[in-house]
Structure 1
Amino acid sequence: MNGLRLPWALAHLAQIGESVGERIPAFFLDFDGTLTQIVAHPDLTALPARTRDVLRLLARDHVVCLVSGRDLPDLRRKVGLAEVHYAGDHGHRIHGKAGSGLELEVGPGDRVELETASYELERRLHPIMGTVVETKGTSISVHYRQVASDKHDLVGQIVKEVADISPGLRLTGGKLVHELRPRLPWDKGRAMLWLLGQLRLRRDDVCPICLGDDLTDEDLFFAARDWGVNIVVGDADRDTRAEYRLANHEEAATLLEAFVVQDEAAQTP
């Protein structure tokens, strides 16, 4: 369904609560555009202090996992919380919360191919002002938010040409970003299922609450279909597997805050 036709999540908190029922909510949250505002350059992204506080409080009683396309060390620096789990590089690298001992890296089959593709992209895109090639542990992102609109097609053409000569990598897209990732049966959704399995949380006992704003978050929504709650954040004018929508990262923080308030009310004598 087109995301613009979805009900507003903040007006349906009771229905979301009914979907959770007696199960334990576990939160799987994208970072850029979901918990933060989209900015011109990925290095400038900052997690609002209010949202960080909400995540810290939420993690006292629930599984909270940041599932992002960012490089894992960068994601951990940006969030700065030891109480939450992290799944960077679209779930290919996982670092559990402090004391959990959980670690996982699903690496590329051929790191040389990844490095070669990164070099080719840097070389071919260098003349186009505003392009940012971000090479991560297991993937490459080409940001073109700052590129003149009449050059967008050229950026896409160059990225496709590099993808075509890199058979071990697959090309995916997002909001003003092209991404090259290993051709592996792994994504954000599989990362979520792996983490829940490691935590011994069965499907009958847990309800994933998934928030995301971009196409790669659809993998998360797919994994949680029929047993979780999927919420798309931001510009939702596209087909999505989500059941609810939120306008922006501030509304996402408000939704998460509602769960914190509910927890505190339940613990009050």
Structure 2
Amino acid sequence: MSAMPHLLDAEGRAAIERLMRQRPLLGFDFDGTLAPIVMHPDEARIPDRIARLLERLTARAPVVVVSGRQVLDVRHRLGFKPTHIVGNHGAEDEFDGPDPRVVTTLEAFRRQMLRMEPMLNEAGATIEDKGASIAIHYRLAPNPALAREAIAELVRELPPDIETEHGKRVVNVLVAGAPDKGHAIQRLAARYGTEAGFYAGDDTNDEPAFDRADPGWVTVRVGPRLEHSRARYRLDEQAEIEEVLRLMLESPA
């Protein structure tokens, strides 16, 4: 059992009540946090009951979605209109667009990637080019070990300023120093004029948000693999986010 306190225990519930008195920024990852993980990523959607709760929350506080997906990809999967969406792990803003330096820096890797794409596809890996980042998925690979070997071959020699980050059956290709989810939540808190905040996420790319959050923030790691997380609280499974949203709505302003 993890030593990290569960958000729905007494301590976590009290933290939510304190937070909601301050009109906080409410930040959420998409896949695995608001939406259940599915075998086919294109089928991911927020359940209707969760979308309705989020819609009600937007009347009380800024609700932001910070996703590894592109903004256009995630927007139609939400079922409600959030205050703000940030995509590409923090490098693409809904209103300001993707960071142009990041898009340009990835060009050298794109050329290398296209040369090796047939080999990746044969191993069961697929490429998703999101402009400001690239994801190489192998969730549907018949032989995940073979797919990982093919991806390792692709990323063995990376162009300058390019780095990788491993997630759940995906390898993300990113530009070193690109805005991440930690930068995103800081930028959004300043934009919406709040010092208090909440952020929940389930994967490696959410850790910068946990790390950069101010001490008073409520940060939550969803699901397993908690040993090295810098979040302050945990949820054991994605479905528990519904109860968290209900607690936020029931908390006195």
TM-score (normalised: structure 2):
0.89
- State the match for 2:51 in structure 1: 52
- State the match for 1:98 in structure 2: none
- State the match for 2:152 in structure 1: 157
Shift of 1:5: 2.5
What are the ranges of 5 or more consecutive residues in structure 2 without an aligned counterpart?
none
- State the match for 1:144 in structure 2: 138
Query: In 2, are the aligned partners of 1:125 and 1:158 still within 8 Å (CA)?
Result: no
Shift of 1:121: 4.8
Counterpart CA distance in 2 for 1:121 and 1:81 is: 39
- State the match for 1:233 in structure 2: 222
- State the match for 2:26 in structure 1: 27
Amino acid at match of 2:85: Y
Shift of 1:106: 1.8
TM-score (normalised: structure 1):
0.84
Shift of 1:231: 0.6
Can you list the C-alpha shifts for 1:19-68, whole angstroms capped at 9, x where unaligned?
53853222110000111111112111121001111110111111111000
- State the match for 1:39 in structure 2: 38
The structure-2 alpha-carbon separation of the partners of 1:121 and 1:188, relative to structure 1 and needing over 3 Å to count, comes to: farther
The structure-2 alpha-carbon separation of the partners of 1:225 and 1:195, relative to structure 1 and needing over 3 Å to count, comes to: closer
Query: In 2, are the aligned partners of 1:124 and 1:158 still within 8 Å (CA)?
Result: no
The structure-2 alpha-carbon separation of the partners of 1:85 and 1:117, relative to structure 1 and needing over 3 Å to count, comes to: farther
What are the ranges of 5 or more consecutive residues in structure 1 without an aligned counterpart?
96-101
Counterpart CA distance in 2 for 1:155 and 1:211 is: 32
The structure-2 alpha-carbon separation of the partners of 1:240 and 1:18, relative to structure 1 and needing over 3 Å to count, comes to: same
- State the match for 2:191 in structure 1: 198
Q: How many residues align?
A: 249
Query: What does 1:103-142 align with in structure 2 at a 5 Å threshold?
Result: 103-107=96-100, 108=102, 109-129=104-124, 131-142=125-136
The structure-2 alpha-carbon separation of the partners of 1:197 and 1:169, relative to structure 1 and needing over 3 Å to count, comes to: same
Query: In 1, are the aligned partners of 2:106 and 2:133 still within 8 Å (CA)?
Result: no
Query: In 1, are the aligned partners of 2:71 and 2:87 still within 8 Å (CA)?
Result: yes
- State the match for 2:67 in structure 1: 68
The structure-2 alpha-carbon separation of the partners of 1:22 and 1:55, relative to structure 1 and needing over 3 Å to count, comes to: closer
188-197 vs 165-174, greater mean Cα deviation: 165-174
Query: In 2, are the aligned partners of 1:121 and 1:133 still within 8 Å (CA)?
Result: no
1:249 aligns with 2:242: no
Partner-residue secondary structure (3-state), 1:184: coil
Shift of 1:7: 1.6
Name the % identity: 27
RMSD: 2.1
1:215 aligns with 2:204: yes
Counterpart CA distance in 2 for 1:41 and 1:139 is: 20
Query: In 2, are the aligned partners of 1:159 and 1:178 still within 8 Å (CA)?
Result: no
Amino acid at match of 1:174: G
Query: In 1, are the aligned partners of 2:123 and 2:147 still within 8 Å (CA)?
Result: no
Partner-residue secondary structure (3-state), 2:242: helix
The structure-2 alpha-carbon separation of the partners of 1:261 and 1:120, relative to structure 1 and needing over 3 Å to count, comes to: farther
Counterpart CA distance in 2 for 1:34 and 1:55 is: 13
Counterpart CA distance in 2 for 1:93 and 1:63 is: 18
44-53 vs 7-16, greater mean Cα deviation: 7-16
The structure-2 alpha-carbon separation of the partners of 1:182 and 1:225, relative to structure 1 and needing over 3 Å to count, comes to: same
Counterpart CA distance in 1 for 2:82 and 2:20 is: 25
1:79 aligns with 2:78: yes
Counterpart CA distance in 1 for 2:79 and 2:97 is: 19
Q: After the TM superposition, which parts of structure 1 deviate over 4 Å for at least 4 consecutive aligned residues? A: none
Can you list the C-alpha shifts for 1:71-94, whole angstroms capped at 9, x where unaligned?
110011111433431001111112
- State the match for 2:87 in structure 1: 88
